[in-house]
Amino acid sequence: MTPNLASFLYLLSSLCFIWALKGLSSPNSARRGNYTGMMGMLIATVTTLYMPNVLSLEWILGGIFIGGSIGTLIAWRLKMTALPQLMAAFHSLVGLAAVCVAASTLENPETFGIGAPHHIPFSNLLEMSVGSAIGAITFTGSVIAFSKLQGILSGKPLSFKGQHFLNAFLGVLLIVLIFLFATTESSSLFWALTGLSFLLGILLILPIGGADMPVVVSMLNSYSGWAACGIGFTLSNPLLIITGALVGASGAILSYIMCKAMNRSILNVILGGFGTSQNEEASLSGPKASHAHVKTGSPEDAAYLLENAQSVIIVPGYGMAVSQAQHALREMVDLLKNKNISIRFAIHPVAGRMPGHMNVLLAEANIPYEDVFELDEINRDFSTTDVAFVIGANDITNPAAKTNPASPIYGMPILDVEKAKTVLFLKRSMAPGYAGVDNELFERENTMMLFGDAKKMVEHIVKNIA
């Protein structure tokens, strides 16, 4: 295969990837887009296999078979509620693969046509080390994010004194090591800088709390793209550069959207410690909530309220995902719809643990996407709604975000459920949400609390709807 033909095929494959992303602008074109993406990957792989320096196929095909089987198995057995963890885990693999490829390039540069060992040009070494560093940070960062999402590590932000100083110091050290490596091509320096990046990945994600996981997952998504980009620069491979840039841009935009939905700067999220210091002060200074006025309802009460409403807006949150309540919910929605009650869903951008998580869960339960609305589309309608039914969500409905400048969530756009005639809160307990703030809505006149597991409670409500 000539370089020109290969480049042309790589270009074709890049276009396929762009189409794949473009397809996601509507659910109608998305599936075709995904097939186009697969096609692009096939073209890229086959083109590379016909490269003159790819001589032994046994290992390669074996590797693809092993990896492909594992990947297929994971994809088929995945529960959609566990999607955020899985995404984090997958990002880590891209990161680790980038490190492997960078190391391999250093060991045997001739295979990649970038010079002989110990005579690799400075720029390639620089790109190689940057690619490896980003890959390594992506790897350990994603492993930490995975552990937090999976509940192996506590979702609480872990922070200690001098943390930012330490991270800044390590960051500078990393840059120094990269330059030293690029001038000397010493493989021990390469492993040192990669090791340091592994450490940095851990330290960067540990202090970030559970509520910020949507941002973290998006950020790591972005990093995995930049890592691929770095490798693309090292190998002067346009396909890797283009694809890496697409993925990097995509992750960056998602992080931006998530941050905006929480009214926080990306820097603020990265520096972490959300829900610790400010929070303790807030809860210490304010009078401890007595919960004296909290009205608790039974499933019968909830069923009665819902049946006699004309319009209902359901606000799902992470709690719905945890208890897998979406299918029971679908049953409830069907029953109410048969009674000509208007039912809609309102999704906050940061509901759940990854961007768009709630939409997927509702889609899984066969809820038509025409009934599912984003915050901007539906927020105005709460004032004309009879019942706002909040299932396993908390912070995204907390009016303190508007009224209390001392609250850590102040300024975050919220769903105005308080404006509905009646607010039903389905929660496991009075415990505050991830941000660690009490929700004054619980004590309002027009609020009724339903305590219990989301799925069981919704099932009870279904039984009580005649």
Partner 1 sequence: MPDLLQTSFQLNALSPFMIALIIFVLAVFVGYYVVWKVTPALHSPLMAVTNAISSVIIVGALLACGPLDVSLSKVLGFFAVILASINIFGGFLITQRMLSMFKKKERSKK
Kindly identify the residues of this chain, within the stretch 350-379, that bind partner 1 according to CB under 8 A: 354-357, 359-360, 363-364, 366-370, 372, 374
Which residues in the 122-161 window bind partner 1 by CB under 8 A?
A: 123, 127
Instruction: Locate 56 and state its tokens.
Output: 């032994």
Binding mask 70-109 for partner 1 (x = CB under 8 A): xxx-xxx-x-x--x--xx--xx-xx-xxx-xx-xxx-xx-
Instruction: Locate 326 and state its tokens.
Output: 């979406």
Backbone angles phi, psi at 414, to 5 degrees: -125, 165
277 binds partner 1 (CB under 8 A): no
Q: How far is the CB of 304 from partner 1 (least distance, A)?
A: 29
Q: How far is the CB of 372 from partner 1 (least distance, A)?
A: 7
Our CB check for partner 1 shows the closer of 347 and 435 to be 347
Tokens 């809160």, located at residue? 425
H runs (alpha helix) in 151-186: 163-184
Q: How far is the CB of 435 from partner 1 (least distance, A)?
A: 21
Sequence-ordered list of residues with C-beta below 8 angstroms from that of 52, at least 6 positions apart, any chain: 1
Q: How many CB atoms lie within 10 A of CB 158?
A: 18
Angle ∠(399,401,405) on CA atoms, nearest 5: 120
Point out which span in 156-164, 172-180, 244-252, 408-416 binds partner 1 (CB under 8 A).
244-252
Our CB check for partner 1 shows the closer of 236 and 298 to be 236
Pair 13, 239: CB distance under 8 Å: yes
DSSP structure class, residue 396 = G
Our CB check for partner 1 shows the closer of 364 and 386 to be 364
Which of the following is catalytic: 212, 381, 395, 416? 395
Point out which span in 247-255, 299-307, 312-320, 453-461 binds partner 1 (CB under 8 A).
247-255
Which residues in the 212-241 window bind partner 1 by CB under 8 A?
A: 217-218, 221, 224-225, 227-229, 231-233, 235-241
State the Cα–Cα distance between residues 409 and 428, nearest whole angstrom: 21
Q: How far is the CB of 118 from partner 1 (least distance, A)?
A: 14
> 187-205 and 122-150 are packed helices; what angle lies between their axes, rounded to 10 degrees?
30
Which residues in the 425-454 window bind partner 1 by CB under 8 A?
A: none
Our CB check for partner 1 shows the closer of 370 and 445 to be 370
Pair 227, 411: CB distance under 8 Å: no
Instruction: Locate 227 and state its tokens.
Output: 């890592």
State the Cα–Cα distance between residues 442 and 234, nearest whole angstrom: 56
Our CB check for partner 1 shows the closer of 183 and 384 to be 183
Binding mask 26-45 for partner 1 (x = CB under 8 A): xxx-xx-xx--xx-xx--xx
Q: How many residues bind partner 1 (CB under 8 A)?
A: 115
State the Cα–Cα distance between residues 397 and 411, nearest whole angstrom: 12
Q: How far is the CB of 60 from partner 1 (least distance, A)?
A: 5
Our CB check for partner 1 shows the closer of 39 and 282 to be 39
Our CB check for partner 1 shows the closer of 127 and 395 to be 127
Pair 315, 417: CB distance under 8 Å: yes
Whether residue 395 lies in the annotated active site: yes
Angle ∠(192,138,203) on CA atoms, nearest 5: 70
Q: How far is the CB of 383 from partner 1 (least distance, A)?
A: 23
The string of DSSP codes covering 229-291 is HHHHHHHT-HHHHHHHHHHHHHHHHHHHHHHHHTT--HHHHHH--TTSHHHHHHHHHSPPP--
Which residues in the 251-270 window bind partner 1 by CB under 8 A?
A: 251, 253-254, 257
Q: How far is the CB of 436 from partner 1 (least distance, A)?
A: 26
Q: Which residues are tagged catalytic?
A: 395
